[in-house]
């Protein structure tokens, strides 16, 4: 069985990242196949429960209030609408629902009470519930855990050194602190990044080093390709090469062998063959449903046809048990 390591150095990660492409993919596929269930792909569906008007200045984000992106600002969604959307996602094959809010941080107010109700309701549908709500403290993480939250998404996006170029309204350390609070509440961690922001390869490697040197690897690592949005400072970034996406996924798979690696934003620009390469390189999760948060994504039907063609199957929810309802939570969450 593949050894799980937490002490990867930048040099080691760079050596993996720069291997001849086919050697890299072969190695990643081998690691992936040493771990069971390699043909299963986790399907997660996104829903934007609170859209736009965010006070942060993330240079890639269409939901930042300071950029003119044409995204309409919406107040928090009613709980019953979230339940309907969750049911639709489940019918489409999703086992996880990720609820996103355009917030800088969670505040202890009525909107957060509503999120707690949403978490409880979606949990009742037997879906894994994930939230991405910005920064939070220990107490807020615990409230979410008590409501039945399964995972918390909080991306590092790029390297620590590059962070200030992309976001000035919070620090890398703020981000890492939230991840600690999430861990303390025994939630599973979903944390990854974006490529195509204008970062260097060293930045990508440095971000992977940070993720793989956390006390425990995130249970899922989303790798997003920038979706350039008009009005944001990164609107004119050239589309990232699919080979960079493959290298990033394969390297993540090799250094975090047990982690679910999600081929995230950017799939509408990728052909089926390009996506197949990403699955070969060890991706075993996608966001499905025709919208990410505010930008388009392939439909459930298109993705199901792709799964059929490639011989992939959707992974069931809580395959290894629900945290809190199994003897060994650590094992259930990690496997």
Closest CA relative to residue 5, chosen from 209, 163, 145, 181: 209
Least distance from ligand DTB to the Cβ atom of residue 293, Å? 4
Which residues face 43 on adjacent strands? 286
Residue nearest to ligand SAM (CB): 155
Residue 19, SS3 per DSSP: coil
Look at residue 113 and give its three-state secondary structure.
helix
Contact pattern for ligand SF4 over residues 130 through 169, marking x by CB under 6 A = ----x-----------------------------------
Phi then psi for 274, rounded to 5 degrees? Answer: -65, -40
Q: Which residues of 107-125 are buried (b: 16+ CB within 10 A; e: fewer)?
A: eeeebbebbbebbebbbee
Asked if 149 is part of the footprint of ligand SAM (rule: CB under 6 A), the reply reads no
Number of residues that bind ligand SAM (CB under 6 A): 18
The site partner of 294 among ligand SF4, ligand DTB, ligand SAM, none (C-beta below 5 to 8 Å per kind) is ligand DTB
Which of the choices ligand DTB, ligand SF4, ligand SAM, none does residue 157 contact, using the CB cut-off of 5 to 8 A by kind?
Answer: ligand SAM
Instruction: Tell whether residue 265 is a contact of ligand SF4 (CB under 6 A).
Output: no
Distances (CA, A) of 128 to 4, 94, 125, 151, 315: 25, 9, 9, 8, 11
Q: Measured from the CB of residue 221, what is the shortest distance to ligand DTB in angstroms?
A: 9
153-290-39 Cα angle (round to 5)? 65
Alpha carbon distances (Å) from 249 to 96, 208, 255: 21, 10, 10
Residue found under tokens 């879906």? 127
81 to 120: interface string for ligand SF4, x by CB under 6 A: ---------------------x-x----------------
Q: Which residues bind ligand SAM (CB under 6 A)?
A: 60-61, 63, 100, 102-103, 132, 134, 154-155, 157, 194, 224, 226-227, 229, 265, 293
Q: Which residues bind ligand SF4 (CB under 6 A)?
A: 54, 56, 58, 61, 63-64, 102, 104, 134
Catalytic residue list? 54, 58, 61, 98, 130, 190, 262
């Amino acid at each position: 069985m593949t050894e799980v390591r937490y002490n990867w150095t930048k040099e080691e990660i760079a050596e993996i990242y720069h291997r001849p492409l086919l050697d890299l993919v072969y190695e990643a596929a081998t690691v992936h196949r040493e771990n069971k269930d390699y043909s299963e792909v986790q399907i997660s569906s996104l829903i934007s429960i609170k859209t736009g008007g965010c006070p942060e200045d993330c240079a890639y984000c269409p939901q930042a209030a300071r950029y003119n992106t044409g995204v309409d600002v919406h107040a928090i969604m009613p709980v019953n609408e979230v339940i309907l959307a969750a049911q639709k996602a489940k019918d489409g094959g999703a086992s996880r629902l990720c609820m996103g809010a355009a917030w800088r941080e969670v505040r202890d107010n009525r909107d957060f009470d509503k999120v707690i109700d949403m978490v409880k309701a979606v949990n009742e549908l037997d879906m894994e519930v994930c939230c991405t709500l910005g920064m939070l403290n220990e107490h807020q993480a615990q409230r979410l855990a008590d409501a039945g939250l399964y995972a918390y998404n909080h991306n590092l996006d790029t390297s620590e050194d590059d962070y200030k170029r992309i976001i000035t309204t919070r620090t890398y350390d703020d981000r890492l602190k939230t991840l600690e609070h999430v861990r303390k509440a025994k939630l599973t961690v979903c944390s990854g990044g974006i490529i195509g922001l204008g970062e260097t390869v060293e930045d990508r490697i440095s971000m992977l080093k940070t993720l793989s040197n956390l006390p425990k690897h995130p249970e899922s690592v989303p790798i997003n390709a920038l979706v350039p949005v008009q009005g944001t400072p990164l609107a004119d970034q050239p589309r990232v090469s699919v080979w960079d996406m493959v290298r990033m996924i394969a390297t993540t798979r090799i250094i975090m062998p047990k982690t679910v690696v999600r081929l995230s934003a950017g799939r509408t620009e990728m052909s089926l063959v390009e996506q197949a390469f990403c699955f070969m390189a060890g991706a075993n999760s996608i966001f499905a449903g025709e919208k990410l948060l505010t930008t388009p994504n392939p439909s459930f039907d298109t993705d199901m046809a792709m799964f059929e063609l490639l011989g992939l199957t959707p992974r069931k929810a809580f395959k290894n048990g629900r945290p809190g309802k199994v003897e060994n939570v650590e094992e259930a969450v990690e496997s």
